[in-house]
Every structure is written in structure tokens, then in C-alpha cells.
Amino acid sequence: MKEKILQTLTSLREYACSKGVDAAFLYHEEDSYLMRFANSAISLNTNEHLIRLEITVYEDRRRASYEMITDLNKLDEMKQGVDIAAEMVKYAMPLNYQPSIPHIKENYADVQGFDPELGMMSGEEKLAYFNDATKDLETDKITLSGIFSSGINILAQISTKSEYTQYFQTSDAQVTIVLAHADLKWEVTAEQSAHKKDDLKPEELHAELSFLIDRYKNEPAQQVPVGSYDIVFGAAATAEMISFMNWIGFNGGLMKRGFSFLTEDHVGKKVFSEKFNLMDDPSRLETFPLTRDSMGMKREAFPLFVNGVFQKFTWYQDDADEFGEKPTGHNVPHKSLVLDAGEMDVNSLQDLVKMPKDKDILYIPFLHYMNIVNPSKGLVTASSRFGALLLKKDGSVVVPYNVRVTQSLLDIFGDKVAWMSKQQTVYNTSASYGARNPVAIVLPKFIRVNDLEISHSNSSY
Amino acid sequence: MHKQLKAHIDRLKAAGATYVDARWYPVEEANYLMMWNGNLKETTSSRESGLGVRVLYKNAWGFSASSDMSNLSTLFDKAFDNASVAAERVTFPVRLAEKDAIQASFKSPNQIDPFGVSLANKIDFLKSMDEKLNQPGVVQRASEMMFVRKQIVFLDSEGSEIEKNIVEVFPSIQVMGIDSTGETHSRKFSPDRLGVTRGWETLDMQLFNENAERIVRELNEVLVADPCPKEDRSVILLPGIMFLQTHETIGHALELDRILGYELAFAGGSFVTLNDFGKLRYGSEKLTARADATLVNSPGSFGYDDDGVPAQNNLLIDKGILVGAITGRQMVEEANAKAKRQIFDGSSGANRATAFYRVPIERMTNINIDPGEDGSLDDIVRNTEKGIILDGDKSWSIGSNREQFHFATEIGWLVDDGKVTKVVKNSTYKGETVKFYNSLSAVGDESTWVVHYVDNCGKGQPNQIMQLGHGVPVCRFDNVRIGE
């Protein structure tokens, strides 16, 4: 298959060259499978096999793109796409900067993230995984929801600048299990990310869910008063906030356009807690990394924050071209973000509940529907969801109704950070909008942040 | 192709499937242009075609889709196999509400096909807008236009055969500026429903010019404004934010699949229970909401849904009481059975998929609020003692059961003693859904009612982006927390 893909791209390049067209070709193929559960049944079992081709044509400072869903047997249709893009570019308006055309300097293939056993898991195996992860946890009232999303993802590229190609193939799986009470409407969740089949460990999810269900079944539930709390965020909540930081934080293009809480003045300055070390590290296979960007640039470890000090912005090629910046190898559909572990030996929910506490702690594992209230201040808002707990100083546990947090990322990751777990975990942040694009963040299991405001507290589940 | 699809549908029926449908997209085209600060950043066209097959077998769904139409047998068989696996775990047998077998077609109304307009003309429009927006106070300006044209052929094992030809047009302009404290503010415009057709004629130069001037003026007012106070006031929501309030806390809350728990692993549930239908006082008596897919010219009007059910106009909330939901064939059967009473007479025709490679789920149509009898915006302002007028969606975040929310808007105007006193920046409001709608104290008349389009509603796994509409009047809610 790889040979056929690269041969197709080479043929398209030859066609474009024969027409005197400067062009770049991006091939994306996905074989996606999603088994969805609801009300303890498989509510949907689906698969999509899709091939997308994006053709970008350049003429001086003009640029135009044509995208198609196609298949490898339709070379003529793809060539027509080149003709259409070449026709469009004539009418496009020149940019006020020179756009760079991808220039791949050597043939490059990266399939180290591909595990065929994961990519081709059968429906029966996925069902068995779910059955193991939820064994004896479901009742008439406590029902199962969730997804097992898995697939194979291929990216391949060529441009008229050279005859060389790039090829990336990965497999991935993202599992979410939710157990919810049909009447009371509480929900607990456990999630897993896999880049190889061995990563799938249903027993770990089972242990997590068992622990949470016990709490939710047996501990009192209550509306917690609004006000200031020391909050321990779980990996899902932290990953969501880091994902937003990737958007309104260290993205150079958005900074230039005024959509960032960071400015050029922040470079080299302490912005966050000294415990905060964040890096884009394409060597971490758990993050489904792209080791070259689409411009052919080798991607290497890229520190973003070291001991809380902001290091540098990342630049998409087009933003770098427009603003006269040096590209940073970030013309990729996703980064490979890694947040360093901390010192605290609290590595499981059981550890967290058991640890001695100087005051009550609110545990928020998951933040629902985060949005940006004020990008210049890094102000975001979201609600807690899925298994929050109020861990009382006296060792007791209360189940809180959901609360809303409206806070600046500058505060959340600033000097209020008390500790981070010694152990890291992998949180899969993939969305299934559009083309398959597996992405995950490596980060500490828990982060404690003191003195954060809860602005709303539900009066029931 | 129809013949081949029919043959495969019949084949799977003979193999034991209780229901099979095929959605064939012979073509879906899109054209997107975006100019940012004078640079034509995006000039993109796209084209796709393919087939999605849905099979109900042993009370479970299987779905398969591909752009490769050369091996239809494999594609149909995969959908059947997927259903076979799903049948291993069935708790509530999937049953489909009755419907008529329909042979019909639908064409969305447009005068001038945007795909017949030259690229040069489209770019000229963007250039003109860009020049219009390039004013003092504006540091970033964006103009964009998206055109979609799709042909959908639907066939099912119950004898339906429906063809839809739909054209969508979504233009918008936006300006951004930075205030003296370094904070970015924005103001945007996208045209509401202008008439009975929606093609290239939507790009009305005079309308865009007028609104370009307005959003630049209002941005400059926000840039020098005081911050929104943190206190309780009446909020007067203009349609530019009322549409989103309706979308998030009536529309999503009343999707029957959410109510039944089918979205719990991702989008969330709903505070509404089956027991609430006919009883729950969702809002004050001034609140009447409906799902109207028969409204002429809206992306929420599509003729027939992807179950093959005709578009309908159904009440959701009648004078404050919850009476209906957004439904498809499967969910109404399950809801009636679980409630042990007939809540729903049949599907409301709202099961839609965003593309051939996605499965249909309950989606909003046009979720509208009926106009009221409290006069014009001026009348409502005149009768407000301490309030704030809000417009322009900036940020929205909603609880997972749609029970509470936090919105930020682009602009706010304080109202004191019946008069607009000043503009404020960073305006926000929050509330609890039922309490909020029960505080609805004024609903504007027809003069305030507009249909706002939504081109990016996300839901489902795999995720689907859907297009729809909201016809809403100006609404006033009392004792709402603002400024947090």
C-alpha cells in the first residue's frame, strides 16, 4: 500500500511539473473504527475508510487549494484536482508576503508508531475489552456508556520542489468508559490511550471505576458552597487546560493577532510556577508524534516552559512567512506535549484519598465544555464532571454536585501550584471532527492548585 | 446506481436485516475564501462523494461508509457485520417508529448559484469588505465566505427514495481591536435570513457595508468602555446572543438522544427526564419554543431527514410548559416504551448526518422562540429599570446536563431607569437554565424576530458538524448575575 501511495504522489508531482505548476500534495488515509456504547448496549458500531488529498498550488505570492475525498484508483480525478487548483490560483489575490512551498530534502518514512494488531482489532476483541473493564459494575440503574475508537492513520507528502516523499503511519486507540446512574444522573469515567495493543489494560479501568462507584454509591452528595478551594485536577482536566494553552498561549501566529495571554515580552520571563516544565517532544511515541513537519523540517524536542520560564513561541509556516519569523517545525496537525512530573508521591486516586490533608480538597478529574472568556487574560471557564470528590480534612469523602471554574490559566499554572504527581500518564485528547488525527498529552496524574475560585455550584446532579 | 443500491438493500434484508438504508452523495462541493488583514489566506475548494450504509440487524445498528464505490458488496457487508457484533450487546431492542414510504425530492431555495459566480467576483467582494473594515481602532479584520452544494440520494428497505439538492451560504465579517490595557475585543456580523432564497444574493453589498460600519463603530465604543459591573441585572438579549442561548439551553437540552443517555460519554445528558413532558415549567408563560423545519430558507429546513421523515413544525415548549423534543424514529419508540406512555406520536423528522461517512443522529432543525407582545427593543428598554443589553457571542460554556451556563458577549449596553446609559466591555452572564427561563419577563414582537444561522453545531461520536437556524426575538430575563 505504501508503495502505491507514494507512486500516486510521484505521478501527481510529474503531472504538475509537466504543466509547469508549483504544487504540494498532502495525502491522508484513515481506516477508522468506532464502537459506541449507551445504556449498556452497543448503540453504534461504525467504520469509515476515507482517503483525502489536498493539493495546494502556488504562483508567485498567490496560493489556492483543492481538497478531495477520493481513492487510489482515481488518478485521473486527482489530476483534475491539480488542474482546478492551477486554474483557481490564477484568480487568487497575491499575499503581501512570500508563502513557502514545502521542500522535502530526503525520502523519509516513519512507521514506528504503527502496530497492526491495534489498528486491526476486531469488534469482538473490543467488546471483550469493555466487558472486562466493566465486569460486575453495571446494574439496572448503573449503565454503561463510552467509546472504543481505533484506527490506522497515514499521512504522505510530496511537492514539486523535489522528488522526495514523506510517509507516516500510526495506529491508535482511545477508550472512554462512563458509568452513570439512570435516575440520579451522576457519572463516573475512566479513560485509556493506546499507541500499541499492549497499552490496553482493561483491569486498570475496572479498578478506577470500582473505586469511584463505591464512593458515589456510598458517600453523601451535596452542593458545595461557592468560594475558594484547593483543587486537585486530574489528568483529563489538566490536559484540557494545556490544550487551550496550545491555542491561546504559545502559538506565535495567534499571539501576533492578539489572541494570546503571552506576548513577546514574556519570552525569557517566569510566567508559571517553577514546577511547570512543558515541552513539545516528538520522541514520545505515546503522543502519536510526527517527527518531520509538512515542510520537511526535522522535529526535535522543543522546550516551551522551563521552571515556569517561557522559552519561545511555536510558528506555523504560514505565520512565520507572514510575520518574518523563523519556522520552528510546527507545521503539523498536532504537537507532542509533555508536562514534566513533580515530586509528590500521589499516583492514584486511592493515594489521593488516603493522603493526609491540611484542609479540604476538591478533586476535579474532568472539565466539561471549556471556553475562552478573555484570551488576553488567559481566562477560561468550564464545569466539573465525571467523578469529582470533596476530600475532607478529616479523611471523609463527599460527592459534590458539579461546579463551575472560571479562572485564568496564568493563575491555575502560576504560583498557586502546590504539587504535581511523581508519575505521569497519557491522556488522549483526540477529537473525531474531520480527518483522523490521533493526539495525546503526557502529564502528571494529578496537579494540586491552591486557592482557586468556584463561581457556581449545582444544587443537584 | 439506484438499481445497484436497491439490490444490495434487498440482499441484506434477505439475509435477516430488519432495516437497511443507503445515503449516496454523488457530489458534495465546498468553496471557502478568507481574507485576513488584506491577505487572501484561504482559497479552497473541495469535492467529495461516497456512500454510507446503515443496517439494523438483531435489534442493533451497524454502519459503514467509503468513498470507494467500486466494491459495494464489501461496503454493505461491513455494515451488516458491524451490526452483527453490536447485536452481542443489546439491552433495549432498536425499533423504528412508523413512517410512510416516500418518493420525493427537495431543493433548497436560491436565486443565484454561488458556484456559478466567478472566483474573481468573490474575491472582489472580500476586498471591498476588507477595505471597509480597515478603519482606525481595528487591528485585525477578517472577511470570509463559505459555500456548500450537495446532492444526497436516500434509499431504504421500506421503499423510500428521496433526493435532496442543498446549497448553503455562510458569509461573515469580523473586526478586532486592542484596548488600553492590552485586551483584545471583537465584533462580527453574519447576515440573518434575508428572504425566501439564499444563494449568492445573500452577499448584499449594501447590507454588508452598513454592518461593517456598525461593527467598527461598536468595536471602538467597546475599546474605551468601562468593564461590565459584577452584579444582578435584567439581561436583554438581542438575537445575536439569544440564538445561542436558545441553541445551548433549549435545543441541546431537548435532543431526545441526550435525554435518553445516548450522549453521556461525550456531549453530555440533559436535566430533562421523560417524566417532565407535559409537566415541567421550563420557563415563564411568555416562553413558547418550537422546532420548525418547515421555515422557508434556512439550513435547518431540509425537506426530509436522514430517516426519510418529512420536515415538521412541532412545539417544544408551550407557554412555558415542556411538551416536545427533537426526535428521530428510534428514540421516540424507546422513549414511549421507557415512559410507559405515549409521549411522542412519531418521529419529528430531525435525524440528520453531516456527511455520507457519518450516521444520522438527532439534530436541531430551526429551534425558534415565538415572538411576544412586549413591543420593540425600545419598548422593552423603556420598561427596564436596571438592565443590560447584550449582543454578539464571544464565549459559551454549558453544564453537561445543560442545567447551567456561562456566556460572554462582545458588547453590553447598561440600561438604567428605562434608558441606555453606556457601553461596557467584557460583558458576561450566567445562570441556571430553568430558573433563567422562568425569569423571562419580556419577549419582543415580530419586529425583533430574526432567523440566525448556525454553521458549526458539534455533536456525536464520531463528531458531526451540523447547520441549522434559530428564529428568535429580543428577550429580557430578570435578576441575572453579570460580570463574572
Give the tens place of pLDDT for each residue, A410-457: 999 999 999 999 999 999 999 877 789 999 999 999 999 999 999 999
Interface membership of B426 toward A (CB under 8 Å):
yes
Q: For residue B250, what is the DSSP state?
A: I
Q: Has residue A263 got a pLDDT over 90?
A: yes
- Under an 8 A CB cutoff, do A45 and B406 touch? no
Q: Has residue B269 got a pLDDT over 80?
A: yes
- Under an 8 A CB cutoff, do B66 and A32 touch? no
Task: Give ipTM to 2 decimals.
Answer: 0.94
Q: What is the pLDDT averaged over residues B250-275?
A: 96
Portion of chain B with pLDDT greater than 90, in percent = 98
Q: If you count them, how many residues does chain A have?
A: 461
Confidence category of residue B475, pLDDT binned at 50, 70, 90 = very high
Interface membership of A147 toward B (CB under 8 Å):
yes
Residue at B374: amino acid letter:
D
Reduced to 3 states (helix: H, G, I; strand: E, B; else coil), residue A200 is: coil
Q: Which of residues 277-336 of B touch A (CB under 8 A)?
A: none
| Cell digits of residue B265 | 460519554
Q: Which of B86, B463, B65, B52 is nearest to A436 (CA)?
A: B463
Confidence category of residue A183, pLDDT binned at 50, 70, 90 = confident
| Look-up of cell digits 504537537 | A335
> What pLDDT, on a 0 to 100 scale, did the predictor assign at position B125?
97
Give the integer Cα–Cα distance in Å for A116 and A126: 15
| Look-up of cell digits 447598561 | B414
The reply to whether B308 and B385 lie within a common domain is: yes
Q: Which of B258, B215, B217, B268 is nearest to B400 (CA)?
A: B268
Cβ neighbours around B241 below 10 Å, total: 29
Q: Has residue B120 got a pLDDT over 90?
A: yes
- Under an 8 A CB cutoff, do B406 and A47 touch? no
Confidence category of residue B460, pLDDT binned at 50, 70, 90 = very high
Q: Which residue of A has its CA nearest to B30?
A: A67
Concatenating the DSSP letter of every residue in A262-316 gives: --GGGTTSB-S-TT--EEE-TT-GGG---SB-TTSPBP--EEEEETTEE---B--
Give chain A's radius of gyration (CA, Å). Answer: 24
Confidence category of residue B68, pLDDT binned at 50, 70, 90 = confident
**Nearest 5°: phi and psi at A247?**
-95, -55
> What pLDDT, on a 0 to 100 scale, did the predictor assign at position B261?
94
Maximum pairwise Cα distance, chain A = 77
Give the integer Cα–Cα distance in Å for A72 and A90: 28
> What pLDDT, on a 0 to 100 scale, did the predictor assign at position B279?
97
Q: What H or E segment, with its residue span, contains residue A252? A: helix A252-256
Q: For residue B304, what is the DSSP state?
A: B
- Under an 8 A CB cutoff, do A145 and B260 touch? no
Q: What is the pLDDT averaged over residues B333-348?
A: 97
A2-218 belongs to CATH 3.30.2290.10: yes
Residue at B481: amino acid letter:
R
Give the integer Cα–Cα distance in Å for B232 and B228: 11
The reply to whether B388 and B373 lie within a common domain is: yes
Give the integer Cα–Cα distance in Å for B269 and B282: 17
Query: What CATH number does the domain containing B207 carry?
Result: 3.30.2290.10
- Under an 8 A CB cutoff, do A145 and B268 touch? no
A390 strand-pairing partners = A362, A398
- The residue from B224, B259, B286 where one domain ends is B224
| Cell digits of residue A58 | 502556488
| Cell digits of residue B361 | 443522529
The reply to whether B333 and B191 lie within a common domain is: no
- Under an 8 A CB cutoff, do A180 and B269 touch? yes
Residue at A219: amino acid letter:
E
Please answer whether residues A282 and A300 qualify as being in contact, where contact means their C-beta atoms are separated by less than 8 angstroms: yes
Express each pLDDT in B7-39 by its tens digit.
999 999 999 999 999 999 999 999 999 999 999
Cβ neighbours around A131 below 10 Å, total: 14
Q: How far is B251 from chain A (nearest CA, A)?
A: 16
Residue at B143: amino acid letter:
S
Q: In whole angstroms, how far apart are CA B104 and each of A238, B9, B300, B327, B334? A: 51, 19, 18, 21, 28
Q: Has residue A247 got a pLDDT over 90?
A: yes
Give the integer Cα–Cα distance in Å for A216 and A178: 13
B476 strand-pairing partners = B236, B442
The reply to whether B145 and B271 lie within a common domain is: no
> What pLDDT, on a 0 to 100 scale, did the predictor assign at position B314?
97
> What pLDDT, on a 0 to 100 scale, did the predictor assign at position B360?
97
The terminus-to-terminus CA distance of chain B in angstroms comes to: 57
The rounded mean pLDDT for chain B is 97
The shortest CB-CB distance from B400 to any of A92, A374, A385 is to: A385
Cβ neighbours for A63, distance < 8 A, ≥ 6 positions apart? A56, A57, A89, A92, A95, A99, B43
What does the domain layout of chain A look like in residue ranges?
2-218, 221-457
Give the integer Cα–Cα distance in Å for A387 and A181: 12
Reduced to 3 states (helix: H, G, I; strand: E, B; else coil), residue A83 is: helix
Q: What is the pLDDT averaged over residues A222-251?
A: 97
**Nearest 5°: phi and psi at B421?**
-105, -45
More confident residue, B68 or B204: B204
Residue at A184: amino acid letter:
L
Q: Where are the alpha helices (DSSP H) in A43-152?
A: 75-91, 116-119, 123-133
> What pLDDT, on a 0 to 100 scale, did the predictor assign at position B191?
96
Express each pLDDT in B383-421 by its tens digit.
999 999 999 999 999 999 999 999 999 999 999 999 999
A2 strand-pairing partners = none
Q: How far is A345 from chain B (nearest CA, A)?
A: 30
Q: In whole angstroms, how far apart are CA B464 and each of A347, B27, B34, B358, B360? A: 36, 18, 23, 7, 9
The reply to whether B217 and B232 lie within a common domain is: no
- Under an 8 A CB cutoff, do B398 and A46 touch? no
Number of domains in chain B: 2
Q: Which of B157, B278, B234 is nearest to B440 (CA)?
A: B234
Confidence category of residue B104, pLDDT binned at 50, 70, 90 = very high
Interface membership of A123 toward B (CB under 8 Å):
yes
- Under an 8 A CB cutoff, do B118 and A178 touch? no
Express each pLDDT in B151-190 by its tens digit.
999 999 999 999 999 999 999 999 999 999 999 999 999 9
The reply to whether B306 and B209 lie within a common domain is: no
Interface membership of B247 toward A (CB under 8 Å):
no
Q: Has residue A71 got a pLDDT over 90?
A: no
Burial of B344 (0-12, 13-18, 19+ CB in 10 A): buried
| Cell digits of residue B472 | 428568535
Sign of the dihedral through C-alpha A369, A374, A375, A379: negative
Q: How far is A390 from chain B (nearest CA, A)?
A: 19
Reduced to 3 states (helix: H, G, I; strand: E, B; else coil), residue B334 is: helix
Burial of A228 (0-12, 13-18, 19+ CB in 10 A): exposed
- The residue from B199, B224, B249 where one domain ends is B224
Measured in whole angstroms, how far is the alpha carbon of residue A41 from the centre of its chain? 27
The reply to whether B54 and B153 lie within a common domain is: yes
The reply to whether B171 and B301 lie within a common domain is: no
> What pLDDT, on a 0 to 100 scale, did the predictor assign at position B280?
98
Residues of B with Cβ-Cβ distance to A49 under 8 angstroms = 65-68
Q: What H or E segment, with its residue span, contains residue A242? A: helix A235-248
Give the integer Cα–Cα distance in Å for B313 and B36: 40
The rounded mean pLDDT for chain A is 96
Express each pLDDT in A17-28 by its tens digit.
999 999 999 999
> What pLDDT, on a 0 to 100 scale, did the predictor assign at position A217?
93
Q: Which residue of B has its CA nearest to A377?
A: B183
Cβ neighbours for B397, distance < 8 A, ≥ 6 positions apart? A369, A370, A371, A381, A382, A383, A404, B405, B406, B407
Q: If you count them, how many residues does chain B have?
A: 484
Q: What angle, 0 to 180 degrees and rounded to 10, lies between the N-to-C axes of helices A75-91 and A2-18?
A: 40
Domain span at residue B330?
A: 227-482
The reply to whether B113 and B177 lie within a common domain is: yes
> What pLDDT, on a 0 to 100 scale, did the predictor assign at position A434?
79
- Under an 8 A CB cutoff, do B45 and A375 touch? no
Of the given ranges (A378-382, A428-432, B102-106), which has the lowest mean pLDDT?
Answer: A428-432
Express each pLDDT in B219-242 by its tens digit.
999 999 999 999 999 999 999 999
Portion of chain A with pLDDT greater than 70, in percent = 100
